Structure 1
Amino acid sequence: MNASYDVKFWETRRNKSSKKPSYEVRWKVGGREKSKTFGTKALADNWLSDLRQAAKRGEAFDVETGLPESMLKAKKARTWYAFAVAYVETRWPHSAAKSREGMTDALSNVTPVLTSDRPGRPDGETLRRALREFAFIPADRRPAPSPEIAAALRWLEAASLPLTALEDAKHTRAALEALSLLLDGKAAAASTFRRKRAVFHHALEYAVELEELSANPLDRVKLRRTKANGEIDRRVVVNPAQARELLVALTYCGRKRGPMLVAMFACMYFGGLRPAEAAGLREKDCHLPESGWGLLTLERTRPQSNKRFTDSGEGHDERGLKHRDDTTTRDVPIPPELVKILRAHLETFGTAKDGRLFRTRTDGVISGSAYAKIWKQARSYAFTPEQVASPLAARPYDLRHAAVSLWLNAGVHAPEAAERAGHGVDVMLRVYAKCIDGQREIANQRIEGALAS
């Protein structure tokens, strides 16, 4: 490889010479200009972002092809396994911890399927561990493999099918079938299948961009699955009285843990915050007047993931708001009741050293499993046995669903409710369609009035 670190990039531009809209990415390596054309601006921008990220990481670029070392490795891959390892290496810097975990999970499902009948195949659990805990982790973050894992990786390298084998529909279908099943052989939820299929589809699109495949083979294989509409089950939504009963019940859960979490759960119900947003809430983000409405200015979140997927090496990364630029903030007006709860929380418990409102005894971020355990206990105190057995507020996240449902049913305009919740309007209306009460009667009255006029 004739390598150079002398790289220059230009912004994506519209290709005016073609009748069909196309977009051109241009860059220069060692004084030699390179370009690549894409059918959409999004694809072109993604490619340019990959190139820039590689340069930012200090990768050398090949003068002949114009590709950085990581892309060149993927382009030269002859097997699906080698390609998938290179793909993860390339995508890792672009992805949040939960996205990395999802990418690794999906590729670990399909890779054992895309192998030949080579003797000495390790058991499924060993193969999955070898992929999730070693192969699909960047080289500089991998632990030392045990002899068992090393043997499994050698088998994968030898048995993996050529990348071009995916142009045969039977192999692509086998991969999709693997994505549609859970580890116990039962059918995966439609949303789970859709999420994993999206990862596989993107990986194959990347192979097409590198010209290792002529077209995405998934486009030729149809696997019928029930479509997930993403709508919230209205049975999970608590009313205001039930929400307050749950908050009171939390004060009886342990000497400190339950009382310390009251304000966190109150933020989810009265403010519609996501759990990761509540976990990242700092004192400086809160405007809490002595009377009237307050304001939360959300800026940082603390999403939880496995330590091997986070940049910090801890269970929680610090990130910007979901689906937003790192510098974007979101204002959430909060009612006097929540203002009072937060003021009491600060007076009683103070903050962590970095200003966070909600913390463990050692100033850490409270884990999802810890507050889920307390939540389960609070439900048993606040609800009847029949309600405990029902889906009603089964998860802390259901408090957020209850908040948005309450806003919409109170007549808050959809754009305002979406802004407070951090949703797109179209997504919010689709997700909460079944939770909006009284709309049929209102529609009937309006139609009747129009007919009578």
Structure 2
Amino acid sequence: MRWSRKVSFWEHEITKRQRGKTYTVRWTVESERHREPLRGKVAADTRKAELMTAYARGERFDIESGKPESEVRAESVMDWFAATLQYTETRWPFIGSRQRQSIAEGLSEATLAVLKPSKRRPTDDEIRAALRQWAYAERLHGDDVPERHAETVAWLREHTVDMTAFDDEQTGPLIARGILEALSRRKDGTAASANYANRRRTTVNTFFEYAAEVRLIKTNPLARVSWKRPQSDDTVDPVVVPNAKQIRRLLATVPTHGKLGKRMEAFFAVMAYAGLRPEEVIALHRDNLELPDEETDDGTEFGEFRLRRADTHAPTRFNDDRSKRRSRRRLKHRSEKTVRRVPIEPRLVVQLRRHIAAFGFGPGDRLFVGPQGGVLSTDRVGKVWREIRPHALTEEELTRDLAKVPYNLRHACVSNWLAAGIDPAQVAEWAGHSVETLLEEYVKCLDGNAERAKRRLLQALAEDDDDESEDEAAGEGGGEAV
């Protein structure tokens, strides 16, 4: 729609007919003329007064239909369920499988907070299943409503609030607050983690921004609610980050996990010494890898990863190709054409050469595959890690959740880069972060840097004191003899 506030009103046009006179209300929006014939002068005067009142309130008018915004919106009232279906249709083609899954989960939880009362209400689990499996997933592949969800979907079409309810000054904030409360709880009613709540809040906030953009609502209702977001717990805790000796113990234990473990020693080493995410390691191919010439390498040469894509995993219903669990997408927070370069330090060069000599490249020139040539999944990677940890770590280390997940190896790598004094901008580039995100997530791991900085400052102060003492000594001995 095209909108304008340039509106002009004209006198009624009166037409005599056999059954009486017709009074035509006339006005223009921009240069477009609009007419509305009515029987009777009172009706025409009333209609003109409605239009002029809307104009006096400062409303915009639709150039094509000539109607004020309030009327256009009233004619296009949409309920929450229909609006979320429209929104997911709009977003689906342009986002990856993991983001599709996140949207489905966030909107499903929010929907539970906008339901109209009903005696025949489906259970929360039935509603979640219908939304996550069909409405926000299988439907977007063109699937009809499956029988198991038919009654729930039919009920939802009639029992979610109209989007205009969010514009009401009294009910709007109450409904919005109810959504925020629902997003802050888990299924069992207990408080959700800060990350869980904030991710879902972001998802629903984006939906409301879309709804405001297409004029389903006037403004984003979440902006009118006084709500303190829970403090994010994304900050990396140094307690769970393994040190160099612990990493060596862990990597040495991986090959004991049968045939798959032997193939995954280098996999985990890439995370520990190059800081790649699991989905980035899974996606590595021959052309992403550049190793120094083995004949001339004296053990000090670096190689380089040239990363272009990542293999994400999600339930198949969120993938474009439902025959596969993985979805090959661009790098996180990067454009389609971005190539991220990451150094391969000498000890990792050695491990990668050993891996390639033992196993070669898999189908499609993949660097890491299973014993049968299958593509690895993050679930399978996690399973191997859970099974080797008890054999590599002490009871005390296990109790404090040291290296609980493979991702902690990436944390260790990035922390070591920062501790080595490498410019944070360079570390952020290698890690695939923004500098802001890097410093926010690894702030606790910077404590060592702070201590080193203090020691350097003390050293500098001591040198200044020495210089001052030398100057004083020179001044005392440099005067004229008496």
TM-score range, shorter chain: 0.7 to 0.9
Name the structure 1 match of 2:305. 296
Q: Percent same amino acid among aligned pairs?
A: 36
Relative to the length of structure 1, the TM-score reads 0.80
Contact 2:260–2:371 (Cα < 8 Å) also in 1: no
Change (3 A) 1:147 1:285: closer
1:285, CA displacement in angstroms? 1.4
1:445, CA displacement in angstroms? 4.2
Say which of 428, 431, 440 aligns to 2:438: 428
Could you report, residue by residue, the CA deviation over 1:71-111 in whole angstroms, capped at 9, with x for unpaired residues? x9xx9452011101111011111211111100010000011
Report the AA paired with residue 282 of structure 1: H
Relative to the length of structure 2, the TM-score reads 0.76
1:428, CA displacement in angstroms? 0.9
SS across alignment from 1:319: strand
Contact 2:240–2:403 (Cα < 8 Å) also in 1: yes
Contact 2:309–2:331 (Cα < 8 Å) also in 1: yes
Question: Could you tell me how far apart the structure 1 residues matched to 2:96 and 2:77 are?
Answer: 26
Moved more, 356-365 or 317-326: 356-365
1:138, CA displacement in angstroms? 6.0
Change (3 A) 1:225 1:321: closer
Could you report, residue by residue, the CA deviation over 1:95-145 in whole angstroms, capped at 9, with x for unpaired residues? 111111000100000112211112210111111101111111263525454
Question: Could you tell me how far apart the structure 2 residues matched to 1:342 and 1:446 are?
Answer: 37
Report the AA paired with residue 240 of structure 1: A
Pairing 1:210–2:210 present: no
Change (3 A) 1:120 1:286: same
Say which of 348, 355, 360 aligns to 1:345: 355
Contact 2:312–2:327 (Cα < 8 Å) also in 1: yes
SS across alignment from 1:227: coil
Pairing 1:232–2:236 present: yes
Pairing 1:257–2:260 present: yes
The unaligned stretches of length 5 or more in structure 2 are 1-62, 66-71, 469-482
Name the structure 2 match of 1:284. 287
Name the structure 1 match of 2:20. none
Question: Could you tell me how far apart the structure 2 residues matched to 1:446 and 1:253 are?
Answer: 45
Question: Could you tell me how far apart the structure 1 residues matched to 2:396 and 2:456 are?
Answer: 38
Could you report, residue by residue, the CA deviation over 1:39-90 in whole angstroms, capped at 9, with x for unpaired residues? xxxxxxxxxxxxxxxxxxxxxxxx969xxxxxx9xx9452011101111011
Name the structure 1 match of 2:54. none
Report the AA paired with residue 188 of structure 1: A
1:165, CA displacement in angstroms? 1.2
Contact 2:424–2:435 (Cα < 8 Å) also in 1: yes
Pairing 1:333–2:343 present: yes
Two-structure CA RMSD over aligned residues (Å): 2.3
1:193, CA displacement in angstroms? 1.0
Name the structure 2 match of 1:134. 134
Question: Could you tell me how far apart the structure 2 residues matched to 1:148 and 1:137 are?
Answer: 15
Question: Could you tell me how far apart the structure 2 residues matched to 1:315 and 1:208 are?
Answer: 34
Name the structure 1 match of 2:111. 111
Name the structure 2 match of 1:405. 415
Change (3 A) 1:382 1:140: closer
The unaligned stretches of length 5 or more in structure 1 are 1-62, 66-71
Find the structure with the greater CA-based Rg.
Answer: 2
Change (3 A) 1:270 1:80: same
Name the structure 2 match of 1:175. 179
| Number of aligned positions between the proteins | 385
1:391, CA displacement in angstroms? 1.7
Question: Could you tell me how far apart the structure 2 residues matched to 1:368 and 1:138 are?
Answer: 23
Contact 1:89–1:138 (Cα < 8 Å) also in 2: no
Name the structure 1 match of 2:159. 159
Pairing 1:88–2:88 present: yes
Contact 2:198–2:230 (Cα < 8 Å) also in 1: no
Question: Could you tell me how far apart the structure 1 residues matched to 2:392 and 2:224 are?
Answer: 52
Contact 1:108–1:131 (Cα < 8 Å) also in 2: yes
